[in-house]
Structure 1
Amino acid sequence: MNLKYIIIFSASTILALSSCSGKKDEEKTVYENTKFKEEEHNIVQLSDQQIRSVGVTTTTVQEKTMQKLILLNGKVEIAPSHISSVSSIMGGHIKSINVISGSRFSKGQVLAIVEDPQFIQLQQDYLVTRAQLESARLNFTRQKELNASKASSDKTLQTAQAEYTTFAATLKGLEQKLKIIGINAQGLTSSNIRSRINIYAPFSGFVSKILVNNGQYINPSDTLFELINPAGLLLELKVFENDVNDIKNGQEILVYNNQNPDKKANAKIVSIVPNIEDGGSSIAVAKLSAPNPEFMKGMYINAEVTVSSLYTLSLPNESVISFENKNYVFEDLGNKKYKMIPINTGISDDHFTEVVKADHFKNKRIVQKGAYSLLMLLKNKAE
C-alpha cells in the first residue's frame, strides 16, 4: 500500500518538474522572440526601386577640428568702484538741480547749486587773513632790519615772525577750503564774493538717482546724487557646470540684448567665479571692448562664446536624425538592409556633429544621404 503511494508521489513530482521546465523554456523562447522582433523593428529592408528612389549614400566617422558654440545669459551690472555718491562739502540749501534721473553728463558739468551764508563768511575770512598776512609780513621784515642794528629786541622779532607764520598757515588752510568748494582763492576779491557754490560732476557718466529737491537744506553727510561711470560696466553671465571648463579668462565673446539680437558687441571674459552654485552654474564676468550706450545697468543680455575643440570624431549633420527626443543613425548592414541605432552627440557646427564614444562606430558604414527617408520607411513599417 505504501509502495503505491510512493510511486504515485514520484510520478506527480516528475510531472510537476517537467511542467516547470517547460514553462521556463517557453518564457525563454518568448523573450528571445520578443528581442528578435525588437531588433527587426529597427531594421528596414529596401527594394532595388526604393534604393534608387531614396538615393542612399554612406560615410564613416571622421576626424574634424570643430568649434563649440556656448550660449550664455545674464545681466548688466556696474562695478562698485564706479558707482559714486555725490555730496556737498558744506551744508546749505539746494538752489537748483540741473540734471534728471537717467540723464548723461560730462566731467566738470554743474549738477546742482547750493546756497548758504557760510560761503560768504569763508571768503570774507580768507580776504581778511590775506590782508593780515601782508601786514604781518611787512612788520616781520621791519623787525628783522631793526634787530640787525640792535634797534629792537630778539623777543620782538620772534613775536613778529610767529604772527607772520600763523597768518600764512591760516591763509593756506582757507585757500584749500575754498578750493574744495570750487572757489579760486587767487582770483577772489571783495567785489566777487558769492553766496553760492556749484556741485561739479567728477567724471562723465549718467545719473542713477537724485536724492534731494530744490529748497531742501542739506548737511555735508547727505548724498545728493548717485552717479554711474559707464567705464565700470560689467556683464555677469551664468555658466552651467558642463560648460565651465570651456570658459577661460581673456576669451573674446559676442553679447547682445533682447531688443537688438542682431546687433552684437565685442566683449572679453575678465573673471570667473570659482564656485558652483546650488543651481549647477557659476558666474563669468566680462567687459565690453568699447563703450556702448545700448547696455545699461540691470538689462538682461545674451552672449555667444565660440570654443575651438581638439580633433574629434564626427559625422555629417544629415547622418544624424532625431526621433522622440533622441538621436539616431542608420548603419548599412549590407544586402540593402539598414539598422537604426541610438547615438550620443556632442558639439555641432554647420556641417558636422561630434559623436560621443565613437569607438563603436569606427568600422561601420553609416548612412549619410537618405537617413530621414529610412526613418519614414521604418515608421511606416512599424505602423
Structure 2
Amino acid sequence: MHFKKTSIYSLITIAVLSSCSGKKEEEKTVYENTKSSKNDQNIVHLSQQQLTTAGLTTTTLQNKNMLKLVRLNGKVNIAPSHISLLSSIMGGHIKSINVINGSHFSKGQVLAVVEDPQFIQLQQDYLVTKAQLESARLNLNRQKDLNTSKASSDKTLQTAQADYSTLNATLKGLEEKLRIIGINAKGLNSGNIRSRINVYAPFNGFVSKISVSNGQYINPSDTLFELINPAGLLLELKVFENDVNDLKIGQEIAVYTNQNPDKKSNAKIISMVPNIENGGSSIAIAKLSVPNSEYIMGMYMNAEVSINSRYTLGLPNEAIVSFENKNYVFEDMGKHTYKMIPVTTGISDDQFTEITKADFFKNKKIVEKGAYSLLMMLKNKAE
C-alpha cells in the first residue's frame, strides 16, 4: 500500500511539472510571435513583380551645402503713421461724396464737396480788405509827400502807416484761410465767388471708411474719411521660438499670398518684437520694398527667409515620408526587404533635407524613389 501511494504522488508531481512546462513554452511562443509581429509592422517584403512595378532606387547620406529656409505666416497691417482721418477745414453741409469704401484715389483728387454761406463771406471779406488796402496804400504815399513838405503832421503819417500795416496783415490772413480751403486768392474777383469748397486727397491711397452722408452738416472737428496710405503697409509675421535667433533686422524676405503662391514680392525685416508669446512665438515686422496695391489690411500672408548656408548631412526630399506628423525613411535590408525607420529632420531646401543624429544612417542604403509607395504598402498591410 505504501508503494502505491508513493507512485501516485510521483505521477501527480510529474503531471503538474509537465503542465507548468507546457504553459511556459506556450507563453514563450506567444511572446516571440508577438515580438515578431511588432517588428513586422515596420517591414515590407516585395515580390519580384512588385519590385519591378515600384521602380525603387536607393541613396545614401550626402554632405550638402544647404540653406535654411524659414517659413513664416501672418497678416497685412498699416503703420499708424499712414492711417489718416480727413476732415474739412471749415464746417458746412456735405454737397457730394465722390468715393466709396475701398476706392483708390490720387493725391489732389476731389473726395467730397462742402457748401456753406461762410465761404462766400470769407471771399467777400478778402476782396473788401484788398480794396481797402489799395486805398490805404495810396493814402500812405500821399501822407509821405505831404509830410516831406511839412504840409501834414507826423501823427497823421503814423496813422496812415498803421492803417496800411493792419489791412495788409488782415489781407495776408484771409489769403491764407482761402488757401487752406482750396481757393486761390490771387485769381479771386467779384465774378467768381463761390459757396462750395472741395475736400482734396492729401496723398495716393484708398478709402477705408466713410463717416458722413450727403446733406449732413459737419463741424471742422468731424471726420469725413479714414484714408490709408499704402506706403505704410507692414507685414506682421509669426516667428517660432526655434527660428527667432536666425532672423535679423535688415534681412530680405519673399512674401506671397495664399491665392498666388508663385507671385512673390520682396520685403525687408524692419523690427523684431523682443517677446515670446504663450504659444512659443514672436513677431517680425517687415515692409515691402515696393508698395503693392493687391495687398490690403487684414490679408493673410506667407513669407520665406533664406538663412546662411552650411554643410550638413542630408537626404533627398523624396526619400523622406511623413505619417501621423512623424518623418520616416525606408532602409534597404536586402532580399527585397525594406524597413521603415523614424528620422529627425532639420533644415530643408527645394531638394534636400538635413538629417540630425545622422551617424545611425551612415553606410545604410535608403530608398529614394518609391519611398511613398512603400509607406502605402505598409499601411495597407497593417489594415
What is the TM-score with the length of structure 2 in the denominator?
Answer: 0.78
Where structure 2 has 5 or more consecutive residues not aligned to the other structure, the ranges are 1-27
Shift of 1:76: 1.4
Asked if the contact 2:76–2:295 (Cα under 8 Å) also holds between the matched residues in 1, the reply is yes
The answer for the alignment partner of 1:310 in structure 2 is 310
Asked if the contact 1:42–1:339 (Cα under 8 Å) also holds between the matched residues in 2, the reply is no
User: Is 1:326 aligned with 2:329?
Assistant: no
Map 1:1-383 to 2 at 5 A.
60-322=60-322, 325-329=325-329, 341-362=341-362, 364-368=363-367
Shift of 1:280: 1.4
Asked if the contact 2:331–2:367 (Cα under 8 Å) also holds between the matched residues in 1, the reply is no
CA distance in 1, matches of 2:124, 2:381: 103
Pair 311,193 (structure 1): closer, same or farther in 2 beyond 3 Å: same
CA distance in 2, matches of 1:155, 1:167: 18
CA distance in 1, matches of 2:129, 2:373: 99
The answer for the alignment partner of 1:11 in structure 2 is none
Pair 34,354 (structure 1): closer, same or farther in 2 beyond 3 Å: farther
Q: Which amino acid aligns with 2:254?
A: L
Pair 129,309 (structure 1): closer, same or farther in 2 beyond 3 Å: same
Asked if the contact 1:319–1:366 (Cα under 8 Å) also holds between the matched residues in 2, the reply is no
Pair 185,312 (structure 1): closer, same or farther in 2 beyond 3 Å: same
Shift of 1:214: 1.3
Asked if the contact 1:56–1:367 (Cα under 8 Å) also holds between the matched residues in 2, the reply is no
CA distance in 2, matches of 1:269, 1:46: 51
Pair 340,301 (structure 1): closer, same or farther in 2 beyond 3 Å: closer
Where structure 1 has 5 or more consecutive residues not aligned to the other structure, the ranges are 1-28
Shift of 1:212: 0.9
Q: Which amino acid aligns with 2:148?
A: A
Pair 301,331 (structure 1): closer, same or farther in 2 beyond 3 Å: closer
Shift of 1:152: 1.8
Asked if the contact 1:329–1:366 (Cα under 8 Å) also holds between the matched residues in 2, the reply is no
Shift of 1:322: 4.5
CA distance in 2, matches of 1:378, 1:33: 21
Shift of 1:40: 6.7
CA distance in 2, matches of 1:158, 1:345: 92
Q: In the comparison of the two structures, how many residue pairs are matched?
A: 354
Shift of 1:315: 2.6
CA RMSD of aligned residues (A): 3.6
**More moved, 233-242 vs 297-306:** 297-306
CA distance in 1, matches of 2:211, 2:46: 82
CA distance in 2, matches of 1:379, 1:215: 71
**More moved, 330-339 vs 256-265:** 330-339
Shift of 1:333: 7.9
Pair 144,331 (structure 1): closer, same or farther in 2 beyond 3 Å: same
